[in-house]
Structure 1
Amino acid sequence: MAEFGGFFNSVNGDRKYKSEDFANYFKAFIGNGINPSTDSLRVVKISNTQIKILPGSACINGYLYLNTTELTKVIPSGATKIVRVVLRLDIANRILNVAILEGTDTESPILTRNNSVHELSLAKITIKNDTVIVEDERGQASLCGYMSFIGVNDLQSMWDLFNQQWGLQKEIWQDWFTNMQGQSIRGIYIQSNKPTNHKVGDIWIELL
């Protein structure tokens, strides 16, 4: 299909939409990742055998994930192993949920990302006998990242450039103001104390 427009009310069944149509709509302007709030889908250790995932939300390829209550998961114990807590979209099986992905004692499990399955890593957990270390991976863009509006990076780049250029101009402006105080036909003073060498008609802007 070269063109698509929607969504419209159906008249006698002439408009029928699939979940893919809605997903394509959302992924046109929302990038993959989790909600950027501080604790959204954060993984927390409960014990050496259990972890919990805090409430939060995410978007993967236009599909929505919501976790409204703390979610508890069992992790391997009693052996040296590296696992990941992932958010997995499985289109073929129509599932989007949190899963435990097991690696080896030395290698982290590799995320699956293809036309059917796409995984985001919420945390990496290193298990060494009775020691369990949880490493938050939500902020790493290559592994998970935060969902954002498509194109926001371009806007941010423009804003950063503006701030950089304004910073340079602001120094020039400030130097000019400093040198011009009391030098023009009508003196301009920008300072906290009252000018001592002022004359009638001068302007004093008091700094508070």
Structure 2
Amino acid sequence: MTQWAFPMLSVDGDRSYNHTDFANFYKNLFSNGVALTIGNALRVKASPGGGMRLVVSDGASIINGYQYHNTEDLAFQVPVASSTQDRVDSIVIRHDVGARQIIIAYKQGDISVEQTALIWELQLATINIAKNTVNIFAENITDKRADEKVCGYSSPYQKVSVSGLETQYGDMLKNTFESFKTKASDNETDLQQLLTDQQALFQTWFSNLQDDLDANQASNLQLQIYWLTPTTQVFSIKHNLGYYPNVQVLYWEYGLGTAPLGEQPSYVSWDGEAPYTIPNEISHIGRNELNIKVPVIHSMTNPIVTKIRENEYMLQEGIKSMQIRIY
């Protein structure tokens, strides 16, 4: 069959669908990987009770269109360490087509990732087991969820075709940054206004491209550049958690004190927009310090920083507000 459409009205059973049809439908929409925004994204961590135990947090994943959900912490007993040699174990999400199941599995002494027509695995973490080890700590666990070679994060915005516009975009970006550098060196106090001008220039260029792109391509390209790709460093945090933590970033615009009420858009309440979670990227400088990057549309150049409570901060600049929590 070279042409296929889904779903269509079935008349007297002439349009019957099975699980593979639904899986193919979702496969075309979502890439393989862990769902970053659901639960704790299947994070692997040491058991709070210590000993040779691990816990996989709640979360979800997509494997070739099939969905997996874990609704609560899932505990694993780590096999006893060898008395003579070290080993490396791994934890994977395994889709077994023949068994008709998706489960989280522990692989002793094995860090391979099987991906065949019948078995497809996503590696969540590797665990270093030194000889004679009797306890598993956070430093023994290597998080592999962000590694696209073995896992990655599931996204609906992948492989957007830009129809040969890469060179034009590259030249535009180069000219934008050259202009930014020249003007910034002349007057450093105009940096914030300059950033706004460059974003407006890029938006004008992008709007002109919409005649050459269909609605889906234009929308996806804009989401990819502005909303989904954390490329701009916004804040550095020192902490005393003793492990490599996760970060949650909430963002909103307008609100009390950010702009005169008469200048707020009519659709915005007097107390500002409702906060929402934005993508972020963490760079761990060490066990007690990290840098946070956010998409350019949410970036700030010189925000006012207020510490709300331990490991939780508020950033505010112009109409933009951001709440950062590490845990």
* Normalised TM-score (structure 1): 0.72
Question: Residue 48 and residue 81 in structure 1: after superposition, are their counterparts in 2 closer, same or farther (change >3 A)?
Answer: farther
Q: Does 1:42 find its partner at 2:46?
A: no
1:75-154 counterparts in 2 under 5 A? 75-79=78-82, 80-103=86-109, 108-128=110-130, 129=132, 130-132=134-136, 133-148=140-155, 149-151=157-159
1:48, distance to aligned residue in structure 2 (A): 2.9
Deviation track 1:182-207 (CA, whole Å, cap 9, x = no partner) reads: xxxxxxxx8xxxxxxxxxxxxxxxxx
SS across alignment from 1:9: coil
1:19 paired residue number: 19
Aligned to 1:62: 65
Letter in 2 for 1:142: K
Q: Which moved more, 1:34-43 or 1:60-69?
A: 34-43
Superposed CA RMSD in Å reads 3.0
Q: Is the 8 A contact 1:77 1:127 kept in 2?
A: no
Question: Greater shift after overlay, 77-86 or 119-128?
Answer: 77-86
Q: Please give the alpha-carbon distance, in whole angstroms, between the structure 1 residues aligned to 2:51 and 2:115.
A: 29
1-structure distance, mates of 2:144, 2:113: 12
Alpha-carbon contact 2:91-2:105 (below 8 Å) kept: yes
Number of equivalences:
174
Matched, 1:170 2:180: yes
Letter in 1 for 2:118: S
- Structure 1 pair 21–55 and aligned structure 2 pair: CA distance change class (3 A): same
Shift of 1:81: 3.1
The SS at the match of 2:180 is helix
- Whether the 8 Å CA contact 1:122–1:144 is kept in 2: the answer is yes
- Structure richer in helix, relative to its length: 2
What secondary structure sits across from 1:171 in the alignment?
helix
Structure 1 unaligned segments of length 5 or more: list them.
179-189, 191-207
Deviations 1:95-123 (A, max 9, x none): 111111122xxxx4311111111111101
**1:140-168 Cα shifts (integer Å, max 9, x gaps):** 111111112222597xx96x845444212
Quote the Cα distance in structure 2 between the aligned partners of 1:69 and 1:102: 23
Alignment check: 8 A CA contact 2:62 2:68 kept: yes
In the superposition, relative to structure 1, how do residues 122 and 152 fare at CA in structure 2: closer, same or farther (>3 Å)? Answer: farther
Give the aligned partner of residue 56 of structure 2.
Answer: 53
**C-alpha distance 153-15 of structure 1, shift in aligned 2 (>3 A):** closer
Q: 1-side partners of 2:103 and 2:66: how far apart? A: 11
Structure 2 contact 55–74 (Cα < 8 Å) conserved: yes
Higher relative contact order (CA 8 A, sep 6+): 1
* Superposition TM-score, scaled by structure 2 size: 0.47
SS at match of 2:26: helix
**DSSP-derived class of the 2:106 partner:** strand
Structure 2 SS opposite 1:12 = coil
Give the 3 Å change call, closer, same or farther, for CA 76–151 of structure 1 in structure 2.
Answer: same
Paired residues of 1:41 and 1:57 also in contact (CA < 8 A): yes
Pair member with larger Rg: 1
* Residue pair 2:95, 2:103 contacting (<8 A) in 1 also: yes
Letter aligned with residue 53 of structure 1: V
Q: In structure 1, how many angstroms separate the alpha carbons of the residues matched to 2:68 and 2:100?
A: 12
SS in 1 for 2:80: coil
Task: Indicate the percent of aligned positions where both proteins have the same amino acid.
Answer: 27
Unaligned residue ranges in structure 2 (runs of 5+): 191-317, 319-327
